[in-house]
């Protein structure tokens, strides 16, 4: 049975989700973030009809077997990916830009399946940066519709395969319907434990640090903490990656031959191993992913010593 997650382009898990703050901060956060809403009808429809969708084929033996040379004891718990090169892939083939994003979805589906089979716990993908809002309006609208359609189609898959979805970024800039879908999907899958997919949408590393500082400032204003109490631990509790047990990626992969991290998880990547692939994201598959993991396992990780 083939893997059949029909993700949106570069999407699609919880952060200190700005949409679910402690009650003492509710009066202050309503001006910064959109509120949660009840389970939307489209999600209810997906749950009711989830039997109509196919799940990916993950037999027991698959979870026990790794490619030659790959060691389970050295597998990264959290892999982050900057999925770059969708537009260039399309242009090289004289295809419309949307075809590049659609092809990128297929690559994401494959990588999610591989992560589940090989025992990687968390995959974070940079789906849409805060800078992407400056792209042509038609392109942005297509991406938003692709995100929405993908989530509506695959809710049943996430439940059946025990996958948790979290979305990080400034969701207030997204269309209201898409905000609602993302928040509901996060809430509905928050207890799934097999694998976590974190999707960064309207995200930047600068934004993440700033919003964490704002939350700490509000707590100090309320008298809940003293400025002198603020340390690395408190800061990390307010970063959007507090949605996961593994907030610091072990490995960051960037495709398309670019050697930048492009404002992605600036705080979290402090000691992350970096791998830069020449492949454009739609061409990035199992062989390239295996190459990145083997390179990771051959490195001796150092944490400032």
Active site amino acids: 84
Those residues whose C-beta lies under 8 Å from the C-beta of residue 151, and which sit 6 or more positions away, are 8, 11, 12, 165, 181, 182, 185
127-141 pLDDT per residue, tens = 999 999 999 999 999
Look-up of token digits 């004289």: 94
185: left (phi over 0), alpha (psi -120 to 50) or beta: alpha
194-241 pLDDT per residue, tens = 999 999 999 999 999 999 999 999 999 999 999 999 999 999 999 999
Domain ranges of the chain: 96-295
Per-residue pLDDT band for 57 (boundaries 50, 70, 90) equals: low
The more confident residue out of 247 and 12 is: 247
String of b and e for 10-43 (b: at least 16 CB within 10 Å)? bbbbbbbbbbbbeeebeebbeeebbeeeeebebb
Per-residue pLDDT band for 155 (boundaries 50, 70, 90) equals: confident
Q: Could you tell me which of 249, 285, 72 has the C-alpha nearest to residue 168?
A: 249
For the domain made up of 96-295, give the CATH fold.
Undecaprenyl pyrophosphate synthetase (3.40.1180)
Residue 55 has pLDDT above 90, yes or no: no
Question: Residue 22 has what pLDDT?
Answer: 39
pTM, to two decimals: 0.81
Mean pLDDT of all residues belonging to the chain: 84
Question: Residue 274 has what pLDDT?
Answer: 98
Residue 100 has pLDDT above 50, yes or no: yes
Q: Two tokens at 164?
A: 């948790």
Pairing of strands 195-203, 163-168: parallel
Q: Could you tell me which of 287, 286, 15 has the C-alpha nearest to residue 124?
A: 15
Percent of the chain topping pLDDT 70: 79
Question: Residue 39 has what pLDDT?
Answer: 43
Per-residue pLDDT band for 65 (boundaries 50, 70, 90) equals: confident
Q: Could you tell me which of 239, 174, 225 has the C-alpha nearest to residue 202?
A: 174
The more confident residue out of 94 and 152 is: 94
Rounded to 5 degrees, φ, ψ at 169 are 130, 180
Percent of the chain topping pLDDT 90: 70
Question: What is the DSSP code string of 82-109?
Answer: E---HHHHHHHTT--HHHHHHHHHHHHH
């Amino acid at each position: 049975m083939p893997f059949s997650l029909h993700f949106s382009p570069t999407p699609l898990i919880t952060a200190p989700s700005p949409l679910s703050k402690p009650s003492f901060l509710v009066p202050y956060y309503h001006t910064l973030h959109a509120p949660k809403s009840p389970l939307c009808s489209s999600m209810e429809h997906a749950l009711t009809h989830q039997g109509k969708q196919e799940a990916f084929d993950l037999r027991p033996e698959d979870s026990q077997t790794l490619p030659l040379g790959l060691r389970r004891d050295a597998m990264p718990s959290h892999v982050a990916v900057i999925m770059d090169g969708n537009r260039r892939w399309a242009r090289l083939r004289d295809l419309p830009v949307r075809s590049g994003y659609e092809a990128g979805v297929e690559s994401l589906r494959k990588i999610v399946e591989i992560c589940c089979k090989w025992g990687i716990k968390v995959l974070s993908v940079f789906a849409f940066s805060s800078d992407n809002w400056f792209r042509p309006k038609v392109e942005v609208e297509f991406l938003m519709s692709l995100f929405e359609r993908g989530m509506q189609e695959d809710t049943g898959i996430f439940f059946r395969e025990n996958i948790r979805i979290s979305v990080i970024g400034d969701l207030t800039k997204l269309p209201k319907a898409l905000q609602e879908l993302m928040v509901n999907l996060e809430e509905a899958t928050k207890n799934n434990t097999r694998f976590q997919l974190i999707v960064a949408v309207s995200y930047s590393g600068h934004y993440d640090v700033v919003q964490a500082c704002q939350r700490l400032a509000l707590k100090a204003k309320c008298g809940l903490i003293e400025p002198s109490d603020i340390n690395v631990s408190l800061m990390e509790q307010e970063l959007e990656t507090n949605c996961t047990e593994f907030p610091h990626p072990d490995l960051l992969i960037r495709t398309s031959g670019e050697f930048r991290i492009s404002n992605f998880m600036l705080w979290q990547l402090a000691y992350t191993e970096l791998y830069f692939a020449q492949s454009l994201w739609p061409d990035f598959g199992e062989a390239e992913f295996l190459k990145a993991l083997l390179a990771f396992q051959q490195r001796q990780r150092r944490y400032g010593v």
